[in-house]
Structure 1
Amino acid sequence: MTRKKVKLAFITNDSARKATFRKRKKGLMKKLSELSTLCGIDICAIIYSSYESQPEVWPDNRGIHRVLAQFKGMPEMEQSKKMVNQESFIRQRIAKASEQLKKQHKENREKQITPVMYQCLTGVGL
């Protein structure tokens, strides 16, 4: 039996919200572990919540420091290569959409001109 789609909205009931947080956090930690094991990559997570006084770290403090040191040891250009803020993300999306629009205009123009060219070649008047 499949699960129904969860409506993403703020959970107003405190106990239900806390229970959902715990379940989702446990699932997230499991996925992090699986991703790290299956792909052989260094990965870390820091989760802050209002339910706990200290942030929860995965895998442990040494693992976090190792991953962060590895990241900070990279050249600055390499660090920021795949990072985007909202403005640059939107600019990329606009550029991609405008490129697709140009391509579609070209295809439409070719589809309009092709029958006219065939008519001219066959001698049928415009």
Structure 2
Amino acid sequence: MARAPKKATLGYISDDSTRRSRYKKRLKGLMKKADEMATLCDVDTCVVVYGEDEAAPVVFPSPAAKAVGILKEFNGMPELGHCKKTMDQEGLLTQRIARLREQIDRSRRECHDSEIRYLLQKIMQGNLPGLVGLTMEQLVGVGYKVDELLKSMAERTGKTHPQPPPPAPCVTPALRLQAPAQQQD
């Protein structure tokens, strides 16, 4: 089994020769990563590094090639374009609060649904005869849940939810007897 490399502690390297050698290695790696990103993602990349003891900055790609054009394009963008995806502390907190509110609402709906299912189970077991003691909100919730369950059962069996027949017209026996008598006259 291979050994995991030791994690380097991030901090200022006080020894000059060690610092210069690590700077050169890291700079080479940074330029390689920028080149790989440009190739793999088909984007324009530019890296400008000001070294401690160097008179001119190290620029990738070469200063005359693309780097100057990329920097001019970046500086020419409106201020909003520079930081499209960045947000300040207030925006971050607002976004997080909205996400937490959605979670709270989802939890409340799930809790309400569980309560209604529990009531429905008690009703089906006969523990609440005549639905006595339920509030209007609980009755509406149970009715809605029953309709929902009937629809899902109908979908599973491949049938549509049956509609009740229309109510029969109210005909009293006295009216039925009078109608034929009037026809005979």
Aligned to 2:91: 92
Query: CA separation in 2, counterparts of 1:102 and 1:83?
Result: 23
Residues matched between the structures, number: 122
Query: CA separation in 2, counterparts of 1:97 and 1:83?
Result: 15
Aligned to 1:18: 20
Deviations 1:81-124 (A, max 9, x none): 5263xxx3323321221122112211221232222212322325
Letter in 1 for 2:112: I
Contact 1:47 1:57 in 2 (8 A): yes
- The question of 1:29 aligning with 2:28 is answered no
Query: CA separation in 2, counterparts of 1:105 and 1:21?
Result: 49
Structure 1: which 5+ residue stretches go unaligned?
none
Contact 2:74 2:82 in 1 (8 A): no
Cα gap change, 1:5/1:43 in structure 2, threshold over 3 Å: closer, same or farther? same
Aligned to 1:67: 70
Which secondary structure state, in structure 1, belongs to the residue aligned with residue 59 of structure 2?
A: strand
Aligned to 2:81: 79
TM-score by length of 2: 0.55
Aligned to 2:8: 6
Aligned to 2:106: 107
Give the number of the structure whose alpha-carbon radius of gyration is greater: 2
Structure number with greater CO (CA < 8 Å, separation at least 6) is 1
Structure 2: which 5+ residue stretches go unaligned?
129-133, 135-185
**CA shift for structure 1 position 77:** 6.3
